[in-house]
Amino acid sequence: MYKKLAILGVFVLTTFAMFGQQEPKAKAAFEKAVAIMKYSSVKMNFSTIIDMPTAKRKQTVTGTIWMKGAMFKLVMDGSVSYFDGKTEWVYQPDNNEVTIASVSGRDQQAMNPLAILSNYEGKAAKIIFDPNVRSTPATEVIDLFPANQAAAEFKIELRLNPQTHYPQSIIVFGRDGTHTYITIHSFQQLPALNNNTFVFDVKAYHGISVNDLR
């Protein structure tokens, strides 16, 4: 569960004295990327490394996610997760078992990359081009710093294709020392997905074991 929350939820700030400072071009590029994820149906193939220095271990996973606003379907680590904006189903094919749970607003932010990135759309967050990495015609590098110093992350580094505004990678720097590196190998805008894509149909699986935590 932690891996899924860390991956979908994506987190990252060295201390800056001034919040609210923004580079208009960086902010515009960021908001275009968020708009694509917010208002389109998309599919992403990704790999993730979660580096936890305090635990002295790294975890590497790969997966595929389909998203439509707050809803998603995620295939990762041999399981399939469905989320319709309120309820989550996690299906384990090997056991023919599904776990059903209601998800709070706070947990939704941890599960959906769009939710945490949307937190930076306001005027308070600091959004700038990374001063230490030169943007190229193929990649622009944007740093996001939260205005809320209680946020789990202190900085997010977002790399975008400047032509399409598609995300290429996300690095989340957590205040607890955990770094999450997400590489997006492919990003596709799709025709509008039916909302049923994000709902698990229990009746379609004969003999399934249901663990309902709602």
Q: What is the pLDDT of residues 31-88, one digit of tens each?
A: 999 999 889 999 999 998 989 888 778 888 899 999 998 899 999 989 999 999 899 9
- Architecture category of domain 2-212 in CATH: Clam (2.50)
DSSP assigned state of 29: H
Using an 8 Å Cβ cutoff, are 74 and 64 in contact? yes
Residue-wise pLDDT for 141-158, tens only, equals 999 998 878 888 889 999
First to last CA, the chain: 17
The closest of 16, 6, 3, 2 to 154, measured between CA atoms, is: 16
pTM over 0.85: no
> What ranges do the domains of the chain cover?
2-212
3/164: higher pLDDT: 164
